[in-house]
Structure 1
């Protein structure tokens, strides 16, 4: 008789799967996000520990945003230092109300001379005639007066008022200008014409507007894109007019970390600036890199720079790395030379699947290859 072999049912079928998930987190498939990495963007290429991409992306946005604010504040302070300081002067300024200053000054001098002559003549007459109290009282009364008295009163009044006006004008020249409040004005077109509507926004309204802008993903300055590889994070930067570029932000980050040794992250490893993204082919790379070469490697220069090409590929085995390096190196004009030992600038070329990421880094080897963990560790 054939013996029947009965298979024992597994009392705990999920135990093995749970242990594999706990002890082998690197074998998890990468989930494709709603915003994949594509050509035509710029930002920051960041490496992190495998399986920590989600936490690393949120941490990277906070860290990059803080250093971005530091760079912006530094640029604003430099602009304020370059502005000339205006100090109030105690000089007396004379105002002329006529078309030509020379004619106005001559007329004023003639009028003053005539008035002085009339006053002298009246004083001589009063010295010759006896002093009568009625004449003194009649000048104070509002009744009719003589022509001589009227002319005398008018001219003495002008002489007394002139120094007061002069002092007022001098005080206005010395006082600094008053700052005006900034009010937002919106023009609304009507049937008859355009009318101005003045709107003053409170602090609560400004906060609500900023929160609404942050809620809209298309208006955020920093947002994450899914590169589709393990241990890699890409943070897109929507650069506006006057904003510093990714290179300036990363350079400031690395120099400050090298001097302070302050721990700023748990999951971030290398942070590389990316200014150009295109498809990973020789022709596309030659076209896209022209703007970057014109910016950092101009043809007409008195100080040629030494450069090196840093190449690395992920999830792409069909591309030839030597051709990519050769295409990037030949795109740089002749005054600049290749120096792998001590380059002034390093051209970073990162290939992730079918996308090529290109950027420029300064002092790459001196700053621990832009590795945040090594810069902040005590052994370096």
Structure 2
């Protein structure tokens, strides 16, 4: 029995490897958080980062589409199309002779009706006589007339000309046929541009699915922060798209009014317009476009601002130096007010990346906490 146990040492090693989790490779995020991105900084329940990221993308997309639709509707209502007026203008000179003109028109119309009746009667008599003559004729005469070739020197009459034939056919076919003929002729002549080949619905759906499957073409995608309870959603902004600040502000104001529950795992959602590495020089250089956008030097209404700082997984950076670097980059026209600021500059440090954004009414909107905004007010 002892020899049998020693003869198979490999079986024991295989079992040990299956029960040792430290031998398994550690899964790392394929898209880590880096400097130079913009999007949304989100806090969530610990251990629920994956569910919170998927939920955050759906919530942000819904409010993004709502904001874009509102902007398009406002633009359409701002410039209504100008329609020509169908009003009939009457002059004073026409009113005096209107009675006489009506009498003359009645007389003319009666005369025209009588002429039309006479013409119809004569046409019917001619048609009947022509039908009788053709019935009495022989088949040979019909063949001869069909095979007869017109002389070359004989000029066609006005009715036999191709121009008159086209006009008669167009009159019999109606206005729709006229449009089709003219469009076809114009396309053949080259006056109208050729129509672009339209793709089928199946091909369009396949192209859209391929675009959604490619993470590099998505508008909103998840980046791995490497911190517990922290999620970052990157926004690839295109021309005409609203900024992350506009989307988040619209979201918070609408939730404050409706009190609608839109999330299960999300806590706080903040916009990020600039990201850089955690050094004083990099922060001063990266924050310049944000300061120029929200804190102009020449302004009649100076703003009161505050700097809100928070750091995660980074103990080597000095808090006061970062706040001073941000506050000194703001022009001296604007003043610091920590109690009632008009606008707040958010500085969130995650490991070695510094995320900077701007928010309005931070305290009034429950510090941009979705749960507090959507929860009903307690009765006192």
1:286-301, aligned counterparts within 5 Å? Answer: 286-301=284-299
| Aligned partner of residue 269 in structure 2, secondary structure | strand
Structure 1 segments unaligned to the other structure (5+ residues): 1-16, 19-29, 93-194
Q: Deviations over 1:79-116 (max 9, x none)?
A: 11221431222379xxxxxxxxxxxxxxxxxxxxxxxx
Whole-Å separation in 2 of the counterparts to 1:269 and 1:373:
6
Q: 1:86 to 1:250 in 2, by over 3 A?
A: same
Deviation of 1:203 (Å) = 2.7
1:196 Cα shift? 6.0
User: How far apart in 1 are the matches of 2:327 and 2:313?
Assistant: 23
Candidates 45, 58, 70, aligned match of 2:54? 58
Match of 2:34 in 1: 38
What are the Cα deviations for residues 224-245 of structure 1, in whole angstroms up to 9, with x where unaligned?
0001100000000000000011
2:232 is aligned, of 231, 234, 259, to 234
Mean Cα deviation higher: 198-207 or 44-53 = 198-207
1:306 corresponding residue in structure 2? 304
- C-alpha distance in 1, partners of 2:27/2:264? 22
Whether 1:282 and 2:290 are equivalent positions in the alignment is no
Q: Does 1:253 align with 2:247?
A: no
- Pick from 305, 330, 345: which aligns with 2:328? 330
* Equivalent position SS for 2:287: helix
Deviation at 1:290, TM superposition (A): 0.3
The one-character-per-residue Cα deviations of 1:186-210 (angstroms, maximum 9, x if unpaired) are: xxxxxxxxx9672112333222221
* Counterpart check, 1:316 vs 2:314: yes
Aligned partner of residue 252 in structure 2, secondary structure: helix
3-state secondary structure, aligned to 2:76: helix
1:344 to 342, 345, 355: 342
Cα-Cα RMSD = 2.6
Cα deviation for residue 263 of structure 1 reads: 0.6
- 1:32 deviates by 2.7
Q: How far did 1:69 drift?
A: 0.3
Q: Distance in 2 between matches of 1:343 and 1:31?
A: 43
Matched residue pairs, number?
258
Partner SS state of residue 356, structure 2: strand
Cα deviation, residue 31, structure 1? 5.0
Supply the distance in 2 between the matched residues of 1:213 and 1:372 (Cα, whole angstroms): 31
Give distance in 2, aligned partners of 1:230 and 1:297.
Answer: 34
Cα deviation code 1:326-358 (max 9, x no counterpart)? 000000001111100111111000000000000
Counting only pairs closer than 5 Å after superposition, residues 37-116 of structure 1 correspond to structure 2 as 37-90=33-86
Q: For 1:44 and 1:31, locate their aligned partners in 2 and report how far apart those are by CA, in whole Å.
A: 24
Give the structure-1-normalised TM-score: 0.64
**How high is the TM-score relative to the length of structure 2?**
0.64
1:150-196 CA distance string (max 9 Å, x none): xxxxxxxxxxxxxxxxxxxxxxxxxxxxxxxxxxxxxxxxxxxxx96
Tell me the equivalent position of 1:123.
Answer: none
Write out the 4+ residue segments of structure 1 that deviate beyond 4 Å after TM superposition.
none
